[in-house]
Structure 1
Amino acid sequence: MTEYVSTTPGLFPLPDWTKDDLSDLKGHQKGDLVSGDEGEEITAAYDEAREEVIGVQQEAGLDRVSEGQLRWDDMLAHPLAVHDNVDTQGIVRYYDNNNFYRDPVVQGDLDFSGDVAQELEATAELAGDDDLQAVLPGPYSLADLATDEHYGDDEEFLAAVGEFLAGEVDAFPDHETLFLLEPSLVENAPEDGVDERASEAIDQVASATDADVVVQPYWGALEEKVYAHLLDADIDAVGFDFVANQDDNVYNLQEYGATDQLSLGLADGQNTLVEDPEAIRDRVDWVYDKVPVSEFETVYLTTNTETFYLPYAKFEEKLAVLAEAADLAEVKAA
């Protein structure tokens, strides 16, 4: 029988109380400065916020607990932005929306950092017996968002980013699931040859963990060749953004099949309209009706994008909807 798992792609909005507090402590607005060596007061504020968002997920009944990535001022670029051999420079638009990040300019070897592992260690202590979910940018997206002034070759740089992320994952505490967020596979689709190398880099990161690995693209659907190459990677699930694009995602599933697990982005991570749990469950049925697969081992129910864009109260409501939708799907499957 299929297991339905409620979760998110991480990158949560900050609790309302933290916005003024952190701005006062840092002397700037979110997105301007997180260096990895914040002072004690800033660290304490983030620790308190992390504890709150973990509690919110537990209260909602999510099946996977994420750290929330509240320190990730530079969004998906964060693991590079806090690296010693990376210089964060001018402000860059984050894809085509109204959020921004500092350009991470790689100026030296991408050796081990451990920044995200420290966040997950703290999360594991707070989560207790709940299943932990790690979140990272996928190697293709991280390389796409960065500027290389060290390796000098796109192929070598992508491989270095993949090796760097694999090293970071290797230091993670025990986790049930790893979500690799890969919006660049949609937003800046790799060309012939690069799509295969992107899959190889993803495979390298996935091989660094025994957890189930979900590659979650969003803001559309993958091009056919990109999707086909992605299935060659040793991953457990591919994510599908059924909010932004239904037809092309269904086509990929029908034409090329899928892994034994499936991640369905069915709730809108950017829209404040809160979906009905029954509606989410019905969307799962709609996908099953379109796909020639009788049963998947695991189906993840999630927002289509990170929830950073939502007001905090709406974010809380979305979590509860996903948890209830997964419960409804389990009941129906039984």
Structure 2
Amino acid sequence: MAGVGIIGTGRVVRSVHLPVLRELADRLPVVHAVAATPDSARTALEGAQMSARAGVDVAALLDDEAVDVVAVCGPHWTHADHVVAACEAGKRVVLCEKPLALGVEDARRIATAADRAGTRVLVGTMHSYDPAWRAALGHARPRLGGARRVRVRAWVPRTEVLVALASGAAPPPAPPAPPPITDPSARAVVLRFALLGLGVHTATHLRALLPEVDRVTHARLLPSGGYLLGLAGPGGTAVLSGFSAGDWRRPDWHVDARGEGGRLRVDLPSSYLRAGSATARWTAAGETRRWSTPLDGYRAMWENVAEVAAGTAEPVLPLDEAVADLDYLLGIADAAAPLLGDPS
């Protein structure tokens, strides 16, 4: 058994993490939570029918000897400092919600702190833990062959709609569309944060299928911070797109990879929704295989945390791979920035 302390009790914590941890209470009991206000932490715990210490002081949580595992779920810009502090406090395991950091230097700072302390750091990109995706990739990757054409598409409703769907509430009305972004430096920042918010979920998938990207062939911002990118590398090409706006109920989040040896298609469940694993299909000459399980990526992720804390397993996504994924993704963002045009 490993006590869990949670930093931040926002939407993903209330909608996903606390419900999963309630299912795993015999292995990962929540013992402490902190948020911007004591009421925020207390309300989140009460909503999950949990009795735990609630407060606002991150240092008090890190000093709590009952906390073995720290879930870092605050604002993105706080992730790196909180993960490093948890490592320096000697915690056994840290699960950091995506993104691990806003820059590669901070990610490497985390890796150094984790190595010094012996803390195991996992990143909360739930699709990386999806059992069907992992099995399908293990089968397809050595068989795809060269001349790969990869498409990664993440078209999902806006976050408020997903949270409402996860909780059974009515979605709030859509906000007005923002005006076009005319400043080139602002467009680059929007792309970077869009990739850190949405593209990061499938960075592991893309890097596994197209390990090297040596140029961005085209780049465009879509309305409301979406993106459409063309990539090329020694192994093939890729089209990477993401869009999170609107109120539709059927997300289209998939990875499609075609090579000389066959085709892999993986349809992924949306974030915030616990809808089982991905559905994956491999097709090649004389062979068709399918993968799908009832186990969703969130539950698989927290089970991996429990196993790592118990010393019975290694992280599904090792920290050095998570850092490499971030470096890969931000390299794409930097290369795409000069090509961005007006999204109107």
TM-score under structure 2 length normalisation: 0.30
TM-score under structure 1 length normalisation: 0.30
More strand by share: 2
Instruction: Tell which structure's C-alpha radius of gyration is larger.
Output: 2
